[in-house]
Chains A and B, each alone.
Chain A
Amino acid sequence: MAIEVRIPTIMRNLTDGAKAVEGKGGTLDELFSDLDDRHPGLRERLVDDKGLRRFVNVYLNDEDVRFLGGLDTQVSDGDTVTVLPAVAGG
Chain B
Amino acid sequence: MVSRLTIERAIVDKIVAHARADHPDEACGVVAGAIGSDRPVRFIAMTNAERSPTFYRFDSMEQFQVWREMDDRDEEPVVIYHSHTATPAYPSRTDVSYASEPNAHYVLVSTADPDEHEFRSFRLVDGEVTEEEVQVVETYG
* Chain A interface residues (CB < 8 Å from chain B): 8-10, 55, 57, 59, 62, 64, 66, 82, 84-90
For the complex, is B28 an interface residue (Cβ under 8 Å from A)?
yes
Contact digits for B7-25, partner A, Cβ 8 Å, 1 yes 0 no: 0000000000000000000
Is B94 a contact of A89 with CB atoms below 8 Å?
Answer: yes
Tell me the interface secondary structure of chain B in the complex: mixed
Is B92 a contact of A89 with CB atoms below 8 Å?
Answer: yes
Q: How far is the CB of B87 from chain A (nearest CB, A)?
A: 9
For the complex, is B101 an interface residue (Cβ under 8 Å from A)?
yes
| Interface size of B as a range | 20 to 34
> How far apart are the CA atoms of A1 and B98 in the complex, in Å?
34
List the A side residues contacting B30 at CB < 8 Å. 87
Known: A84-B67, A89-B98. Is A57-B92 also a contact (CB below 8 A)? no
Is B101 a contact of A9 with CB atoms below 8 Å?
Answer: yes
Is A86 a contact of B93 with CB atoms below 8 Å?
Answer: no
Q: Which of A10, A57, A59, A90 has the most CB of B within 10 A?
A: A90
